[in-house]
Structure 1
Amino acid sequence: MITSPQVLDGRLLERLRGAVRGDVVEPGAPDYDEVRQVYNAMHDKRPAIVVRAVDAGDVIATVDFAREQHLPLAVRGGGHSVAGYGTCDDGVVLDLGRMRGIRVDPRARTAHLEGGCTWADVNHATHAFGLATTGGIVSTTGVGGLTTGGGMGHLARRCGLACDNLLSADLVTADGSFVTCTPERHADLFWAVRGGGGNFGVVTSFVHRLHPVADVFGGPVFYPLDAEVLRRYRELVAGSDERLGALLVVGLGPPVPFLPERWHGRPLCGVVTCWSGPEEDDEHIRAQLAALGPVIGQHLGRIPYPLVNTLFDELVPAGLFHYWKGSFTRGLPDGALDALVEYGPATPSVQSVTVVFPLDGACHRVAPEDTAFSYRDADYAIALSPTLTTREDCETHKGWVRAFHRALEPHAMGGGYVNFMDGDDQDRVRANYRGNHARLVAVKRRYDPGNLFRLNHNIAPCGIAGPGRR
């Protein structure tokens, strides 16, 4: 049922407009329906206002406004939150989408990024200097949500997670303070934002470490969905150079020209490759991929690194309906492979791709207690999602993904990656952070004792998680 959003007092709104340079969009405004939308169409919320911030001053004013008026506050970067935490009903949405400035320092190999940047923005700016850092696998994903959640991507085995490459961050905390955190300054907050999500403030800018990555050998290779192919993939990753990024995908054949038409819509698996090593080894990588099983389609070649980050873009544009679950595993146990083979054929749509992310290499060279992201002993993260074109179809297929997730649980590590958690996973927050949870609660209590930043996978200052808990 569609309900009307809360109407705020006009005098309060005028005072807020006087404090910000960006736009304050109310219900009834011509662009209201456009600016309230988020990536996952399952979340059709109607906020009382949307503030389209242009600088840190706007962020401070908006945080102060939401706190003083006791309104729910949703913070939106790229808007890709699976659980829909970039929007809310009858509250304030702080949209950072206009804060997308970037400054690359090629000598220091760093990038200064405003809080609303997407990975497409970052990759475009850094590639001009032959540099890159770990980002997501969909270019429209926001830097903020991905980095503060941990941050997996094609370069993770070589360069570590996105949060491992974070050198400093500017935040606006719940009391409206502007804080720069580094390993030396506000070190507790710097530790917490590297995996603890949006629980501690609004990150208005990041400084990321960059690595010398320009062109890569990459693209997808597809095979029949067979347990033997998956076992060979597992062996390939375990024995390969860390410069080989190799995501495993399971789903239905996409309608792409390099895949025979008879395979369109049929169950298969694939490896999306990103080899960032020397070009003279490209053919060796191609041969290793060919050895995994019968190749039914491939599109491999030397390409700019930013292009690898767009390979999923057309498959999953904004406006589809998603519901997600996620797991970590040590190795890829045979039972987990059996579950992929069993549930893969029932994938409900071409867009509903199961993705397996390798997390070894550089990810393992950070101790579990060094960042809030604690799963440094995990070798893989698995993301499951029915992704459909209608809400009804997505609701119908939630049972498939829940059963799939239950089948993986005996072979998984208990918690999951926060960026793969949906809104009904609040009871998993403690397990997601394991031994780091108590320390995160202490940081939360220091910087946000009133739990203003609660629209997330919430680390409550009282230590008891729950939707909207204050």
Structure 2
Amino acid sequence: MINIEELQSTFRGRLIQPNDSDYDEERQVWNGYIDKHPALIAKCSGMADVIDAVNFARKNDIEVSVRGGGHNVAGSALCDDGMVIDLSEMRGIHVDASQKLARVQGGATWGDLDRETQVFGLAAPGGVVSTTGVAGLTLGGGLGWMRKKHGLSCDNLQSVEIVTADGELLTASDTENPDLFWALRGGGGNFGIVTSFVFHLHEVGPTVMMCAVMYPVEIAKTVLSTWKDFMIASPDEISSQLLFWALPDTDDFPDEARGKHVIAITAMYVGDPDEGEKAFRELREINTPVLDLSGKIPYSVAQTMFDPFFPKNERHYYFKSQDLASLNQETMDALIEGAKNRPVPSMLLAIWHYGGEMNRIASTDTAFGSRNTTFLMSVDSVWDDPADSEKVISWSRNFLDQMKQFSGDGMYVNFSGFGEEGEDLVQKAYGDNYERLTKIKTEYDPDNFFHLNQNIKPVSE
């Protein structure tokens, strides 16, 4: 039990300990596989609470984890026996429509941000699940439906306010603490606690054209090959991913489609929906689909399409990724064979196409380390029965090992499993940017106070 009397004297938010009635609810995160028991959860009401919590933890030598939206698969938002600095009640958003800017507090989700910005027909490039936290996604890069047109979430940052390990509040931007700002655009939660972000916004919606067409997995070779060629030649308005999946037995799908194994193409057209409808015709006419849910829908609805399949604390998750050196026939054959052997049907095998603006930005312009690849493979392991955990995680790791012969140099740090490879994983994720990141870590967090993350170690360690 942590003696909270000193912190309690100034802290305006809630301090939750194991004997409190809401403790078990408050220690939940999105991933139901994670079951950790912190000694203290400090639910901050504002940046002053964050500063107090950091100073209290440092003074008393308490291990710290940081929770924004609590959506990270790895579960590093929680810690056993330490202190969770929780920003989930800091969800304020201010939109300056004339300047196309939004200031967003560190506990907000992308659903929160989309709701406010779409009032003005604007949006910041976010993720593909609306319950994802703005902070975690952005600090790890931020793959979303607008990545080819407008880049990653981190590419649209204008500035941040951050509390560092010594309890100091700093602004980081291209002109203030520029090295720190460079590191925060992809370098994760290694350098402090970001209490607010300022994003550049883009005109999007209110209606967009979505492609969501699902073909029988038996024609996967044709679908995958067609999709690859289409995406390589596609305009920046189209961002897409391809999924091997089994349609769940839910009301979201017609009876005759449920349970069928499919290869699905999902894509958004960021532009005129009528032009998008024409552009997606080729993808929707590869063969007779099992199901075609494509259509013109509100942007805010498109952002929630995957939400029902990834509920908070109800399912178990293990997401891991690696860049692909190419998507040649040998690679495609290995992907298809792997997809056939998934141990539970709820698992997804996803191929993300990069390209466009996110690849035009130089690999050294931000910390994000995979600017020079075209395709990312992610094993999105989702399961419901705890008895399947060992089987699913073991299969996922073995499949990724088998695919290393086709892999590129990097991976997506937000899809890193449980980070079990430690420093080797982090070095792979950041590539040539890793050395610079270690120097910045040493400057701003020399004692590695913030280490429950995909950890970049300071030089002193």
TM bin, normalised by shorter chain, reads over 0.9
Q: Which residue of 1 aligns with 2:450?
A: 453
Conservation of the 8 A alpha-carbon contact between 1:250 and 1:353? yes
Give the aligned residue type for 1:456.
N
Q: Which residue of 1 aligns with 2:336?
A: 341
Q: Which residue of 1 aligns with 2:401?
A: 406
3-state DSSP of counterpart to 2:198: strand
Q: Which residue of 1 aligns with 2:185?
A: 194
Q: Deviations over 1:415-463 (max 9, x none)?
A: 3111100221313111111111110000000000010000001001037
What is the CA–CA distance in structure 2 between the aligned matches of 1:260 and 1:140, rounded to whole Å? 25
2:237 to 216, 238, 243: 243
Over 3 Å counting, the alpha-carbon distance change for 1:357 and 1:165 in structure 2 is same
Give the aligned residue type for 2:232.
A
For structure 2, list consecutive stretches of 5 or more residues without a partner in the other structure.
none
Q: Which residue of 2 aligns with 1:304?
A: 298
3-state DSSP of counterpart to 2:122: coil
Q: Deviations over 1:344-402 (max 9, x none)?
A: 12334454222222210010111010000021111122221321113321222112212
For structure 1, list consecutive stretches of 5 or more residues without a partner in the other structure.
1-6, 464-469
Please state if 1:268 is matched with 2:259.
no
Q: Which residue of 2 aligns with 1:120?
A: 111
Q: Which residue of 1 aligns with 2:52?
A: 61
Q: Which residue of 1 aligns with 2:166?
A: 175
Deviation larger for 269-278 or 331-340: 331-340
What is the CA–CA distance in structure 1 between the aligned matches of 2:139 and 2:193, rounded to whole Å? 10
3-state DSSP of counterpart to 1:230: helix
Q: Which residue of 1 aligns with 2:212?
A: 220
1:52 to 25, 43, 46: 43
Over 3 Å counting, the alpha-carbon distance change for 1:258 and 1:422 in structure 2 is closer
Q: Which residue of 1 aligns with 2:360?
A: 365
1:54, CA displacement in angstroms? 0.9
> Identity rate of aligned residues, in percent?
38
Deviation larger for 371-380 or 340-349: 340-349
What is the CA–CA distance in structure 2 between the aligned matches of 1:310 and 1:409, rounded to whole Å? 32
2:308 to 301, 308, 314: 314
Conservation of the 8 A alpha-carbon contact between 1:259 and 1:296? no
Please state if 1:425 is matched with 2:421.
yes
What is the CA–CA distance in structure 2 between the aligned matches of 1:387 and 1:315, rounded to whole Å? 9
Conservation of the 8 A alpha-carbon contact between 1:330 and 1:377? no
3-state DSSP of counterpart to 1:65: helix
Over 3 Å counting, the alpha-carbon distance change for 1:107 and 1:330 in structure 2 is farther
Over 3 Å counting, the alpha-carbon distance change for 1:157 and 1:330 in structure 2 is farther
1:276, CA displacement in angstroms? 1.6
The size of the alignment, in residue pairs, is 455
Q: TM-score normalised to the size of structure 2? A: 0.95
What is the CA–CA distance in structure 2 between the aligned matches of 1:61 and 1:333, rounded to whole Å? 53
What is the CA–CA distance in structure 1 between the aligned matches of 2:199 and 2:456, rounded to whole Å? 25
Give the aligned residue type for 2:156.
N
Q: Deviations over 1:4-35 (max 9, x none)?
A: xxx123xxx02111121100001110100111
Conservation of the 8 A alpha-carbon contact between 2:209 and 2:277? no
Q: Which residue of 2 aligns with 1:285?
A: 279
Over 3 Å counting, the alpha-carbon distance change for 1:68 and 1:334 in structure 2 is farther
Q: What root-mean-square deviation, in Å, do the aligned CA atoms of Structure 1 and Structure 2 show?
A: 1.6
Q: Deviations over 1:144-167 (max 9, x none)?
A: 000000000111111100000011
Q: Which residue of 2 aligns with 1:435?
A: 432
Please state if 1:444 is matched with 2:441.
yes
Q: Which residue of 2 aligns with 1:380?
A: 375
What is the CA–CA distance in structure 2 between the aligned matches of 1:78 and 1:354, rounded to whole Å? 25
Q: Deviations over 1:147-199 (max 9, x none)?
A: 00000011111110000001100000000000000001100100000000000
